[in-house]
Structure 1
């Protein structure tokens, strides 16, 4: 019985010592000066901003960050600065064991470059956000022109509105565009074949292939999969034989046929 009590006391003392050591280490960590700030961008094929540029923005906002101990709330403020950068989707800041700070940032992934009716340009991102152009990097994505009257806004996310009734006419076009571009990007052939979308005054979509051989009058996004299936069959059964530039326009709006014109 005495031996069991001694074992319990030894276990309690061991845990107490461990927690005391952790407390001392945490206190020591808090009192350490921050000497380095490391920024890491998660893997992204469209790096709209560089790690060093994010670091510069942090230090411009908090020049006292390096060379002094970390104050309560500093990490949250660093995260707020990084998340406020237009190219950043999300970010997290951490205190390392040596007292220094590491920041991890996830960037927006553009899926289309929009040139609206007022000749303003911005990106539509994979998460539905609108993102300004980058002066440092120009990703090769779908170019969209025509009747897009929506201007760039950092607060718009077309996927976060719960119902279609909350969408303005301009935002509705952007949501339809998002669905169309996403469908194209998810298909290897379509993604490599089409590089431009034009929106007509009636709000319908026209697709142009990279070779510029013809224009595909796609219409709206209704029956989207069926339209592309019909188009691919036409390519395989007809255009590969008679030539890609045989017709100047292909109309997909009719259910059971493609109307072509020279």
Structure 2
């Protein structure tokens, strides 16, 4: 009885495997016979950064859209198309797939800029939320904090800001500014010297904020908030030209 039971089970497994292989073979055969009917491009852009549109994605695909329709689906390597789209710095992720009816769907997720690199001796660029460096666009300008100074030359040699320890700290700083409603509205520019020392410039007021290295962020921002919430309302917004946050336990204002 035990041998009979095992035999039945093995027969069932064998039949199931054959059915699955048959379905796969049928699907592949059908796919080879299917012609491309339509191409749909979907751009996921939660933060409304209009750096790219559907026409730009079509150019990245490097395919003749008119000739592509009606071509055999099997003749197009969708994975290669996906790789070409992902080479664009503005694009964080892309997925290209087809259905059994011959429709090709392209899903694209755009990167979100968190800072703009500005310099006098070359083109500007953006720092994305994931640290990736992006070029500027003729189509769209994002209103984000500006980053300038000698340090940006080093940044622009990298593919991503967080390749270095100073870069990782800078990304943490930009994240704190972006996620805090007050700092996001108040801090306009970070000027970073060649040794990664930061001087901040605000939207309101003439003071220069000497922040120092992007470390001890919570402590420094706590002191800076005291300066804005308690000192300036009493002394006047144009009273001070320089504020230093680098000394432990002190706020130095001149």
| TM tier, smaller | 0.7 to 0.9
Please tell me whether residue 108 in structure 1 is matched to residue 111 in structure 2.
Answer: yes
Q: Kindly state the Cα deviation for residue 201 of structure 1 after the two structures are TM-superposed.
A: 5.2
Residues 77 and 61 (structure 1), Cα distance of their counterparts in 2 relative to 1, 3 Å cut: farther
Q: In the aligned structure 1, how far is the partner of 2:124 from the partner of 2:153?
A: 11
Residues 119 and 211 (structure 1), Cα distance of their counterparts in 2 relative to 1, 3 Å cut: farther
Q: Kindly state the Cα deviation for residue 47 of structure 1 after the two structures are TM-superposed.
A: 2.9
Q: CA RMSD in A?
A: 3.0
Indicate the larger mover: 13-22 or 132-141: 13-22
Could you list the runs of 5+ residues in structure 2 that have no partner in the other structure?
1-10
Q: Kindly state the Cα deviation for residue 229 of structure 1 after the two structures are TM-superposed.
A: 0.4
Match of 1:233 among 222, 226, 230: 226
| Residues 206-245 of structure 1: pairs in structure 2 closer than 5 A | 206-245=199-238
Q: Kindly state the Cα deviation for residue 228 of structure 1 after the two structures are TM-superposed.
A: 0.4
Equivalent residue number for residue 7 of structure 2 = none
Per the alignment, in what secondary structure is the counterpart of residue 116 of structure 2? Answer: strand
Could you list the runs of 5+ residues in structure 1 that have no partner in the other structure?
1-8, 165-171
1:117, 1:145 within 8 Å by CA — same for their partners in 2? no
Equivalent residue number for residue 131 of structure 1 = 134
Equivalent residue number for residue 171 of structure 2 = 178
Residues 244 and 212 (structure 1), Cα distance of their counterparts in 2 relative to 1, 3 Å cut: closer
| Residues 161-176 of structure 1: pairs in structure 2 closer than 5 A | 164=165, 172=166, 174-176=167-169
Which structure shows the higher helix fraction? 2
Residues 68 and 60 (structure 1), Cα distance of their counterparts in 2 relative to 1, 3 Å cut: closer
**Number of aligned positions between the proteins:** 247
